[in-house]
Structure 1
């Protein structure tokens, strides 16, 4: 008579048993898991009214979730499992966690419109991530278009949508029902930017001249110190600068598109000989 627990048959007709896995293959997935823990902890802290720590945890989650893929490529540790896990983590850290923290801190004062705004942002983030995965597999796109994101990327959206919280933390805005309605409108605007066709320069192929490396390092250190000492003021200025950058990016894309189209339509030069 068979016991209550039958032996589990492995998928894929068995296969070799993996006994040892290099640490470099595990590290990106570990960072992804830590990012999920940070995002979910941010939600819990928001429910406990520890909002500054909650926002910081959400930002840490967005940072970790933004570097795990790059770290995997750097270590040559990419895998299908890691890619799927990263996609699932992105919706939590870039969509659900910022939306819930923002709602718990401010948008709930607006009632149902605030909740609708939070839902729209989380859904828009999911749609944005799905489109990114599809475009990432499209090999027919011109190479120069790979320098631009289609719509605001999800990590940037997670940081930008919390702008009302930064303003409240520095005392620039008073928490009120009116502020909640304005923040709800801003949240819907960010959701629209996520799913829009707005071209956003990615900086993936940016090359730094050799004589500018040292000043660049000094500038990065300076910005990091500002972020550490004056986090909410620095984030406020950074988000406003990013919003100003978006139309400039779209104009640069339009000019590049015209130039590339003219180059493709230019007739080939015939050899005189």
Structure 2
């Protein structure tokens, strides 16, 4: 869901009373196209369309979220008054460029793990290291790229991390989480060692996050869990120190999920343009 107040907040940053750059042209009906200048996976269409609707700009959508686009492909055919089109241009292009970049980047990670591990490939998931204010759009872009959005916020799941364990101890933190949490929510425990991972599985964690482990350490940990008949009771997530360069090694360890901030934070913006093609 995209709220009107969100769109107005985004527009407020750009629009002011003394906007001469858009009003210096005679207001008239125009036709325009929005197009990509490089190959990409398309994302950001929902927020772009909501902005166009708000500005009363008519459009025909030519692509769907998550669809591949080639350089030169048109995303939108627009009709509207010239001032509105000029005012909406940069905001719409910024979202399409940024979010399509995340979707394209995510798709690259997904392809690497699938090429390495086939049907047993782990999911590629985002983290909460997102741009403040537009997390839900960035998470949707990850989804459009074939990844998993992971948690949208702290309330989606209980995650017991190293600082919780340092303060309370692993088991005490888990028991307190169980006491305060509905049966409907999963509890994840971060583990730095195979011993912590084993303990987390034994006490009933739903998910175990293997933090900053090497591929060999992960294989050893999974082997230990398997030997104790614990592996099938938990989902195994890995995070920390994982990059495109070593992604194949992690993809074949037997984990279920790889989470990394690089899918959002290392994404290049896609070059997207808007051209007026006809004036009345």
User: If the length of structure 2 is used for normalisation, what is the TM-score?
Assistant: 0.27
Q: Relative to total residues, which structure has the larger strand share, 1 or 2? A: 2
Q: Which has the higher contact order (CA 8 A, sep 6+)?
A: 2
